[in-house]
Amino acid sequence: MEERSTNKNQYEITGVTAQLFYLMQLFNCLVIMFFTLVTAHAMHGFILEGNAFHLITKCHATIVYWKIPVVAGILYISLLFLLSIECTNHIELIVKLWLEIMIGAGIFYYTGLSYTVMVLLILADIVRNRIDWGKKIMYIILLSCVDLVLNGNVLSRYISPVSVNQIWTYYRSDVAAVFSGAVNIMFLIDVFIFILYMVFLILEQMSEKERIAALYRELSIANKKLAEANKQLEEYTEELVSAAETRERNRFAQEIHDTLGHALTGIVTGIEACIMLMDIAPDATKDQLKAIEEVARQGITDVRQSVKALRPDALERLKLEDALLKIIDETMRSTGITINYNCTTPLLDFSQYEEDAIYRIVQESVTNAIRHGKADVIDIDIGREDGFLNIKIKDNGIGCGKVYKGFGLHHMQERLSLLNGSLKYDGSHGFTIEASIPIRWGNSVEEKED
């Protein structure tokens, strides 16, 4: 199966190289017309002078004079047509080459075996083909052999050519000398054009190779950068996976901490109250234990729900404000402390993550106030101001001189950071927590209220 080139089989010659190639074709056409017309004119002169028999015996030729330029022109047009054909494989190229050689030999014959520069034109066509130089050299050697045969007068032994030297004796010796000198000059010009063509073609091919080499270098650099980018992407992906795993672990720990911490704090505080009431108010102790039981059961439910979906059970069943009121009521019943709740804006149109954050902030703040602050009064204020939902939780506990951010405060900060919110706290007079969350739904609630 013949090898086919993925690109065109000939170089796209442009600029000076293309002009020189077309100039060779045009110049050869002019030379051939000059040869054949001068020869035909001389033969016609012999005939008009009645020396046709002398011409035939002298030149051993029986060609009709007007056929010489006509046939030579047809052959040259055929050669130009072949030169314009672009081959796609070596079989087509070798067939085209042999056809060009045969046409060139025909032109050589009709020019009286005197003009062999056709070989240079065929050679110019061969070197511009996109084939390896090994095959080009083989074709060049073949053309060289053809040129040696044509210039060696080998064909004159087997055919009767139209001898230009004999026919041009029709003209005076000085005119014939001018014609011969013109032919020599034309030959030199044709060779000069061919040399220029080869020089510019080689320079063009060298430039193309340099361009390909530059493109290859650019491609190598691009591949190197792409490999580095892929490596960075892999590292970044690993970091993202690791960060996602860390966030998920922290979130899970936070949910368990919030759920169990709140439930256990209520249970411990309630049991302490039961111990004090057991001897003086047995009935009140029973009511307190029932409240503790409800808190414990709700804690178990929240733990299960947290493990399942990491979302408080109350928020699954209730609206946000109802869930806050429920947890406040359960805390007061189980611990006996007072929680003052004041919300001046509807808690509507929040996303799941925002509801979780608001609920957990209130839950964790209340738990910390009871567990660490030993508070018995907690004030919760929720309001809206300048596009932010503000949550302020203050207790009357023991407070602290220097606040160390523990697990609870740390996770509050994380939740708010994800929502572009902020957290402030102060332990100088009891303990105060202030959380601020941007409201995505703008003025829609205010418009509803109006």
Q: According to the model, what pLDDT value does residue 152 have?
A: 56
Residue 193 has pLDDT above 60, yes or no: yes
Interval 114-118 mean pLDDT = 66
Interval 326-338 mean pLDDT = 85
At a CB cut-off of 8 Å and minimum separation 6, what does 290 contact?
none
For residue 222, the SS3 value is: helix
Q: How many Å apart are CA 274 and CA 270, to the nearest integer?
A: 6
Q: According to the model, what pLDDT value does residue 1 have?
A: 39
Residue 233 has pLDDT above 50, yes or no: yes
- The mean-pLDDT minimum among 20-29, 419-428, 435-444 falls in 435-444
Q: According to the model, what pLDDT value does residue 342 have?
A: 93
Q: According to the model, what pLDDT value does residue 3 have?
A: 41
Q: How many Å apart are CA 189 and CA 197, to the nearest integer?
A: 12
Residue 54 has pLDDT above 70, yes or no: no
Q: How far apart are the first and last CA of the chain?
A: 86
Residue 416 has pLDDT above 80, yes or no: yes
Q: According to the model, what pLDDT value does residue 242 have?
A: 65
Q: According to the model, what pLDDT value does residue 50 have?
A: 67
For residue 63, the SS3 value is: coil
pTM above the 0.75 mark? no
For residue 382, give the H/E element and its range. Answer: strand 377-385
pLDDT band for position 10 (cuts 50, 70, 90): very low
For residue 389, the SS3 value is: strand
Residue 6 has pLDDT above 50, yes or no: no
* pLDDT tens-place string over residues 238-256: 777 666 666 666 666 666 6
C-alpha closest to that of 122 among 149, 103, 150: 103
Residue 340 has pLDDT above 90, yes or no: yes
Residue 106 has pLDDT above 70, yes or no: yes
Q: How many Å apart are CA 326 and CA 301, to the nearest integer?
A: 14
Q: According to the model, what pLDDT value does residue 120 have?
A: 80
Tokens representing 165 are 């030297």
Interval 309-313 mean pLDDT = 57
